[in-house]
Amino acid sequence: MTPETHTGLQSPRGVWWKPAHKAEKVWVAIAFGWCMVLFAMMPLWHLKGGQNPSGIRRKVDPEAFFQRTQEFIAQYQIGDDRGMPIVAPPAGSDVYLTAMAFQWTPILQLEKDKEYVLHLSSRDVNHGFSLYPLNINFQVVPGYDYGLRVKPTEAGDFRIICNEFCGIGHHIMVGRVIVLDGAPQAATAETAVVAGGDR
C-alpha cells in the first residue's frame, strides 16, 4: 500500500480513518502528556502553592459595601495622606477596600507576615486591582465582594494601579498600601505619610 500523497485541498478517497505514522503518534503522545502536566499543576498549586485566586466570594450591594468600608475606616483610621484616610487594621482582621472612579479608598497599613482578609469591591464600574511593583492583579467587579486571604511577605510602600478601563480618569486612579516590618508605633504612621511621595 502506497501512503497518501494528497494535499488538504483534495478530497481523500475512500475511508480516511487510517493508522497514523509513528512520528505523529509519538508527538501526539508527548503533547497529551504535557497537557496532563499543565492540567495537574493547577490543583497541585491549590494544595502546595501559596498563591491562589480562590478567596471568599459573595454578592453584595455596592452601596452596602461602601458603607462597610466607611465603618472600617472609622474603626481603624490612624491618619490621612492628602485627605485619603490611612487605616491600620489589626492582624487577622477583615480589611475593606472600595474602588470607585477614580480612587481606591482607603490607604491600608498592614504588617509584614500577618494574614488579613482583603475584601475588594467596586462602587460603580469594573476596576482592576494591580499591586505595584509586585504585579499582583485582581478584577474588581461591582456587586461582588472578593475576600482574599493575603499575607504580605515584604515591607514597603506599595501602590494600587487601576488596570481595568473605568472611564476618562482611569490613568490617575492610584491607591496606596503600606506594609510595616513589625508592629506599628505611634510615630510610624507619620513616617509612612512622609514616605508616600511628595507630589
Partner 1 sequence: MTAPAFRTCPFTSLKVDRHAEMLIRANAVVSVVALLVGAVAAVMLVLTRWQAVHLLPAVWFYRILGVHGMSMLIFFIIFFEMAVLYFASTALLNARLVVPKLAWACFGLMVIGAVMVEWMMWAGKADVLFTSYVPLRAHPLFYLGIILFAVGALLVTVIFFANLVVAKREKTYEGSLPLVAYGAVAAAIIAIITLLHGAAIYIPTFLWSLDLMEVDPQVYRMVWWGLGHSSQQINVAAMVSVWYMLGALTVGAVVLNEKISRSAFVLYVLFISMASAHHLLVDPGMGPAWKIVNTSYFMYMAVLASMIHGFTVPAGMELGQRLRGYTNGMFEWLRKAPWGDPGFSALVFSVVVFGFVGGITGVAIGTEQINIIAHNTLRVPGHFHATVVSGTALAFMGVTYYVIPLIFRKKVAFWGMAKMQPYVFAIGMFIFTMSMTFAGSFGVPRRHWDISFSNAPFDVQFSPAVDVLLAFVAIGGLLAATGAFMFIAIAVKSVFLGEPLGEVTRGRAMAGVPQGLTHPPTHAPNVDELNAALHHPSRGIFGVAPGTLALAGVFLLAFVLYYFVNWKVLSFVWKIG
The residues in 27-86 that bind partner 1, with binding defined as CB under 8 A, are 27-28, 30-32, 34-36, 38-39, 41-43, 45-46, 49-55, 57, 81-82, 84
The residue (of 6 and 75) whose beta carbon lies closer to partner 1 is: 6
Q: Does 91 bind partner 1 (CB under 8 A)?
A: no
CA 142 to chain CA centroid, nearest Å: 15
Q: Cα–Cα distance between 180 and 160 in angstroms, integer? A: 17
The residue (of 83 and 187) whose beta carbon lies closer to partner 1 is: 83
Q: Which of 70, 155, 174, 188 binds partner 1 (CB under 8 A)?
A: 174
| Chain position carrying cell 474602588 | 99
Q: Which of 65, 69, 106, 176 binds partner 1 (CB under 8 A)?
A: 176
Whether the CB-CB separation of 115 and 138 falls below 8 Å is answered with no
Q: Which of 47, 172, 186, 194 binds partner 1 (CB under 8 A)?
A: 172
**Least Å distance between CB 69 and partner 1?**
16
Whether the CB-CB separation of 175 and 81 falls below 8 Å is answered with no
The set of cell numbers assigned to 138 is 485582581
Q: Cα–Cα distance between 70 and 68 in angstroms, integer? A: 5
Report the alpha-carbon angle 174-175-177, nearest 5.
145
Q: How, if at all, do strands 103-105 and 77-81 pair?
A: unpaired
Q: Give the per-residue contact string, 104-143, with partner 1 (x = CB under 8 A; - = no).
A: -----------x----xx--xxx-x-xxxxxxxxxxxxxx
Q: Which residue, among 91, 92, 114, 110, has the nearest Cα to 160 in the 3D structure?
A: 110
Q: Does 181 bind partner 1 (CB under 8 A)?
A: no
Q: Compute the radius of gyration of the chain from its Cα atoms.
A: 25
Whether the CB-CB separation of 88 and 109 falls below 8 Å is answered with yes
The residue (of 63 and 198) whose beta carbon lies closer to partner 1 is: 198
Touching partner 1, residues 141-170 (CB under 8 A): 141-146, 148-154, 159, 161-168, 170
The residue (of 79 and 170) whose beta carbon lies closer to partner 1 is: 170
The residue (of 163 and 188) whose beta carbon lies closer to partner 1 is: 163
Q: Which amino acid is at 58?
A: R
**Least Å distance between CB 141 and partner 1?**
5
Q: Does 13 bind partner 1 (CB under 8 A)?
A: yes
